[in-house]
Structure 1
Amino acid sequence: MAEVFPVQLNIGDKAPDFDLPRDGGDHVRLADFAGKPLVIYFYPKDDTTACTTESITFTALAADFAKLGVALLGVSPDSVKSHDKFIRKHALSVPLASDEEKTMAMAYGVWREKSMYGRTYMGVVRSTFLIGADGKVAGVWDKVKVAGHAEAILAAAREL
């Protein structure tokens, strides 16, 4: 496997631009959120246990984020069709972007080598970015554990 040197985004960096298809057949761009804070959470796969729990929790807190004027966006390499099914199955309200080419995952440094059961492979490392209204990274959470994570992001968003 070729060695990959992922991008390392830090607080204060300009958030990388993106333009991806999203659930419902529309597109989503960083410019759509200009002037308002944005939480971008990257997750590996639709309808797996941890990814489902994470998306359900962000959906449950969506109104709290909205009260703060903070938008939410989930991103995975799954197809739009998979996202649509995932949203319907779990009554999710968070928009989900489809990054099948992994361009956004690479730009944000979350497409990395992983290992499980002694096997190494490339995949999305569960990560979250809080983007300020100025378009700069205000918070980075890498190798996220799902329990309590969405609540921690909400607390950080309150500090913006």
Structure 2
Amino acid sequence: MIDRRNFLKRLATAGVATAGLGAWHDLQRIAAAAALTNGPKAAGEDYRALVCIFLFGGNDANNMVIPTSAAEYLQYATGRTPALALPSASLLPISVSNTPGRTFALHPAMTGFQGLFNAGKAAVVANVGPLRAPTTRAQYQARGVPIPPDLFSHSDQQAQW
């Protein structure tokens, strides 16, 4: 007969082993993908990749890329509490050419990304998600457009992405 203490030890060991196997499988998939891209490159080849980093909700995207034109910054700042709105003087400006009349900046901690962005080596892909069609608040409230199932459930949105 197994006592409670040994049962709990074995249960914990099995849980750690199961988690480790899942991580090992993920590492193998990453290594296989890396092997496909590490081959020799042709002269002058301009390789680009879309890298998605999933942070499990650990990013305040509203404080990552911030509009800095006067009216838009005011809207940003008034829509956040004073403790969350970043002072405009602390922001890192970026060179955006495809939004005439609009200017943007990055969070002060994103100096490395600022350099990559301004050099054309990185980009921001904003406002993406599982919506089925462009949707306004009025359309959503009137149920006039199809919406994804469980729209405000984070775990369901993660699964759909």
- TM-score normalized by the length of structure 1: 0.22
- The one of the two structures with greater contact order (alpha-carbon pairs below 8 A, sep at least 6) is 1
- The structure carrying a bigger strand percent of its residues is 1
Give 1 or 2 for the bigger CA radius of gyration: 2
